[in-house]
Every structure is written in structure tokens, then in C-alpha cells.
Amino acid sequence: MGVPFPVLLGVGAALGLVVVVQSADLRLPGDATGYEPDQPVAFSHQKHAGELAVPCLFCHTGAETGRAATLPPASTCMGCHQFVRASFAAVRAEDDLAKAERRDPRPVTSDAIRSLYRLLGRDDEGKRRPGAPEGEIPWVRVHDLPDFVVFDHRSHVAAGVACATCHGAVETMERVRQVESLSMGWCVTCHRQESGRVLPQPVRGPDGKVVSPTRALHPTTDCSVCHH
């Protein structure tokens, strides 16, 4: 006795769905996990935050004092790269070559720094070109929450939440990508798990005296706090 065609059709559709579920990158609408856009400057977090151990707050200065962590202005980059134009290895290689050729070393500027200078209207030595406007870096935002979501960096930093909790191990990334969904469910789950966690930082009164050696966290799950 043969199997009825509707049954065969249903089984085939189910098997096809299984294949799609196993092979596709399924996610809810608005989930930008894995988003890794090209940036106007080839900035390596692996080099700066990893190898050089530059603190997150050195560039993202607003995380402690404001709602947004802020993207670094050109002045932050030029504070270092006015003088640092290439890797130590590249500079050392030019020095060795200059000695072998019995000449003075030439200035060395990497491709990444050269592209930074061009954006800012500077020549290959970092000097401003006559008449060139003072530019800024048009960074592409990676972690971008909807307009109806209120997220305040300073309250999370004050609660001892590490940058990697939301942003992942950026010190291992050549180019930053979004590693968490940043969905409402993801945030609420974290708030519930963190409730009652005790911070080692003391609580101080208005006069600066310690009134409690530790403090416990009580993250809210009230809708109106993040959606007002």
C-alpha cells in the first residue's frame, strides 16, 4: 500500500525545514549579531586594545560620564599619531637599510596612518596641507540600539559591568563586530542574573566617608526605565 501524496508532501516539507534551520543563520528581526562594517580607517583593536593594552576609556571617554560611550575624535588619534607613523619594526627596518646604504633614515608612514592623514587634510608626515579643511573621521557605528531604547553607559560602568560583557573580546578583533544580539530578552536576562551581586567598591556618603564597605546590585526590569 502506497503512502498518500499529502503525507509525502508534508514529510518532504518538514525535512526541508530541518535542512534550512540547520544551515541558515536564523535570527530575530533587528538582531545585528555578526555586523562587521568597513571603517574609514583601518583601526585595529587587536593592536591597540590587545598588544598595546590601551584602555577602552582612553578613546571612548564618555562611557563613565554620559549615556553614550562616544566615538573618538581625530584629536584623540593625532595625540599619538602625530608622532607615531608606523610600527617599530618598519622604522627599525628603514634604519638598518639607511645604515647599509650610508644615508639618513627616511620618514616611514604606514598605509593605515596615511589614510588617517588624508582624511584629516594632512600630508604623509602628518603636517596640515595649506588650505585643507580640518576633517573628522566618519566612523561607522557598530552597536546601534533602536531610538526607542534608552541605554546609559555610565550606570553600567558604575555597576562594574565590563566592556566585554556587551561588546565581546574587542582586544582580539582586527575589526570590531557585534557579538551579542543586544535584544530586550538578552538585557532582561542579564539584569535578572546580576540581581543581588555584591560590588567590592565601598559606598560613600556626602562627606566622603564610607557608609557601607560593599553594595549589592538591584538592576531594574521595569519597562519604563528603558522605554520612556
Which SS3 state, helix, strand or coil, does residue 16 take? helix
Encode pLDDT of 27-81 as tens digits.
666 789 999 999 999 999 999 999 999 999 999 999 988 899 999 999 999 999 9
What pLDDT shows up at residue 158?
84
| Higher pLDDT, residue 99 or 20 | 99
Return the C-alpha cell found at 146.
Answer: 533602536
- Per the CB < 8 A criterion, the answer to whether 180 and 166 are in contact is yes
What's the mean pLDDT in 110-117? Answer: 93
- pLDDT for res 153: 93
Q: What is the pLDDT of residue 133?
A: 83
Q: How does pLDDT run across 132-179, given as a tens digit for each residue?
A: 887 889 999 999 999 999 999 988 988 888 999 999 999 999 999 999
d(CA 152, CA 145): 11
Predicted confidence (pLDDT) at residue 9 exceeds the cutoff of 70: no
In this structure, the chain runs to a length of: 228
Q: Distance (Å, rounded) from C-alpha 180 to C-alpha 167? A: 7
pTM here?
Answer: 0.76
Determine contact, residues 47/88, Cβ cutoff 8 Å. Answer: no
Q: Where are the domains of the chain?
A: 32-72+139-203+211-226
Most confident of 134-138, 178-182, 204-208: 178-182
